[in-house]
């Protein structure tokens, strides 16, 4: 069976656009989705990232408002997309920012793939990133801790199974990994927050949040070499289609 990729919306938020596109459009508010990606048709059922914790928890802990329709509640949203979370065998954690790793417990039978460099940085990030990682050393409570026994720690690019490859794409964070999926319409890349919206890719603008801007550009070059199609990670436009290809 050919591999297919589905973007599943698990809520939306409103943020300053310069968080997405570095130094561009400060003061402009934009709506962004939080996405759980599903990769079907391979050796194992895969999801890429798990979205933020529930809106109540996020508001209480961070003061951030997430809008979540009933059909966007993660278990329900996955069900609507034809996915039973208990059948997911692999969760790829692109990076450990709070809005990507709030629901690992929803996938009790999955191994969770994360880069070693990301795990190291998430435990002891630079101060300015303490809240993004909900880092325990800054008296926070990272949601991923309860799932750590299921972590599979990777170093760099890894072929997970035929058609699905992890790509180390540092820049937004030190250990960010994207996913390259071979389909019957070429290679699709889920670049995570390396490419927040289409504009990042088309105009080669790094994400507003980054640990290393030079790495952001090197990661753009790597995606360019390997992928035919790029799926931005916080862009409502990806829902124009139910599945890719």
Residues that bind Zn ion (CB under 5 A): 97, 193
Residue 189 near residue 230, CB atoms below 8 Å: yes
Angle at 118 between CA 206 and CA 52, to 5 degrees: 75
Strand 177-183 and strand 46-48: the pairing is: unpaired
Least gap, CB of 123 to Zn ion (angstroms): 16
Distance (Å, whole) CA 113 – CA 68: 26
Q: Is 162 exposed, middle or buried (0-12, 13-18, 19+ CB in 10 A)?
A: exposed
Least distance between Zn ion and beta carbon 172 (Å): 6
Helix, strand, coil % (nearest 5) of the chain?
30, 25, 40
- Closest to Zn ion by CB, 68 vs 192, is 192
Residue closer to Zn ion by CB (options 3, 211) is 211
Rounded to a whole number of angstroms, the minimum distance from the CB of residue 160 to Zn ion is 21
Determine which helix (DSSP H) or strand (DSSP E) holds 48, and give its type and residue range: strand 46-48
Q: Which is nearer to Zn ion, 193 or 215 (CB)?
A: 193
Give the residue with the Cβ less far from Zn ion, 4 or 172: 172
- Helix residue ranges, H only, the chain: 55-62, 74-80, 116-123, 198-202, 213-226
Residue nearest to Zn ion (CB): 97
72 or 193: whose CB is closer to Zn ion? 193
CB of 193 to Zn ion, least distance (A): 4
């Amino acid at each position: 069976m050919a591999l297919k990729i589905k973007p599943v919306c698990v809520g939306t938020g409103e943020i300053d656009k310069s968080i997405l596109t570095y130094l561009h459009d400060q003061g402009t508010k934009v709506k962004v989705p939080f996405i759980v990606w599903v990769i079907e048709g391979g050796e194992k059922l895969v999801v890429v990232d798990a979205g933020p914790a529930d809106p109540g928890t996020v508001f209480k802990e961070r003061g951030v408002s997430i809008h979540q329709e009933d059909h966007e509640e993660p278990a329900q949203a996955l069900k609507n997309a034809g996915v039973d979370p208990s059948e997911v065998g692999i969760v790829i954690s692109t990076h450990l920012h709070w809005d990507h790793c709030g629901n690992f417990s929803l996938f009790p039978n999955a191994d969770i793939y994360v880069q070693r460099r990301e795990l190291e940085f998430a435990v002891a990030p630079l101060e300015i990133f303490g809240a993004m990682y909900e880092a325990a050393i800054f008296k926070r409570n990272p949601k991923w801790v309860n799932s750590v026994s299921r972590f599979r720690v990777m170093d760099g690019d890894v072929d997970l199974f035929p058609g699905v490859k992890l790509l180390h794409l540092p820049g937004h964070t030190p250990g960010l990994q994207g996913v390259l999926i071979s389909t019957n319409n070429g290679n699709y890349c889920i670049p995570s927050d390396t490419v927040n919206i289409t504009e990042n890719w088309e105009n080669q603008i790094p994400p507003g949040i980054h640990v290393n801007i030079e790495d952001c550009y090197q990661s753009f070059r790597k995606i360019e070499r390997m992928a035919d199609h790029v799926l931005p990670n916080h862009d409502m436009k990806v829902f124009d289609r139910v599945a890719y290809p």
